[in-house]
Structure 1
Amino acid sequence: MRHCCFRPLGGNCVSTDRRRTILEGAARVIARRGVRGLRMEELAAEAGVSTALIYYHFKDRAGTLRQTLEFISDRAERYTSNVDGAARPYGAHEELEQSLLLEFQDLPEVRENSTAWGELRASAIFEPELRGDLARASLAWIHDVADLLGRIRPTAPAPDLTASAERLTALLEGLSTRWLSGALPLAHARELTSEAISVEIERLGR
Structure 2
Amino acid sequence: MTSRREAILRAAAAAIAERGVRGLRVGDVAQVAGVSPGLLYYYFKDRDGLLAAALTFINDRSRRYRKAAGDSGAPREQLIGQLLAELEETPEMVENSMAWNELRASAVYEQPLREPLTRTSRQWTHEIADAIRVAQAVGDVSSAVDALQVGLIITALTEGLAARWLGGELAAEVARAHLRGAVETLLPTSG
User: Is the structural similarity TM-score above 0.5?
Assistant: yes
Q: Counterpart of 1:156 in structure 2: which amino acid? A: S
Q: Among 148, 154, 157, which residue is 1:162 paired with?
A: 148
Name the residue aligned to 1:22.
8
- 2:110 matched residue in structure 1: 127
Higher relative contact order (CA 8 A, sep 6+): 1
Partner Cα separation in structure 1 for residue 40 and residue 144 of structure 2? 46
> 1:29-83: per-residue Cα shift (whole Å, max 9, x none)?
1111111111211212222221111111111111111111111011001111115
Residue of 110, 118, 133 corresponding to 1:150: 133
Which of 161, 186, 191 aligns to 2:172? It is 186
Question: Cα offset for 1:168?
Answer: 0.8
Tell me if structure 2 keeps the 8 A contact 1:153–1:201: no
Identity %: 43
SS of equivalent to 2:89: coil
Q: Residues 152 and 179 of structure 1: is their aligned pair in 2 closer, same or farther, counting only changes over 3 Å?
A: same
Runs of 5+ in structure 1 lacking a partner?
1-7, 9-15
Work out the CA distance in 2 between the residues paired with 1:165 and 1:129.
Answer: 25
Q: Distance in 2 between matches of 1:58 and 1:174?
A: 30
Question: Deviation of residue 136 (structure 1)?
Answer: 1.1
1:13-92 map, 5 Å? 16-83=2-69, 88-92=71-75
The 8 Å contact of residues 152 and 201 in structure 1, kept in 2 or not, is answered as no
Whole-Å Cα distance in 2 between the matches of residues 54 and 131 of structure 1? 22
Counterpart code for 1:124: A
* Contact 1:30/1:37 (8 A) holds in 2: yes
Match of 1:141 in 2: 124
Q: Which amino acid in structure 2 is aligned with residue 200 of structure 1? A: L
What do residues 148-195 of structure 1 show as CA deviations (whole Å, max 9, x unaligned)? 21222346368x221111111111001001111111011111111111
For 2:92, the equivalent position in structure 1 comes to 109
Deviations along 1:120-159, one digit per CA (max 9) or x if unpaired, are: 111111111111111111111111111121222346368x
User: How many positions carry a matched residue from both structures?
Assistant: 187
Q: Secondary structure at the match of 2:88?
A: coil
Runs of 4+ in 1 over 6 A off after TM superposition: none
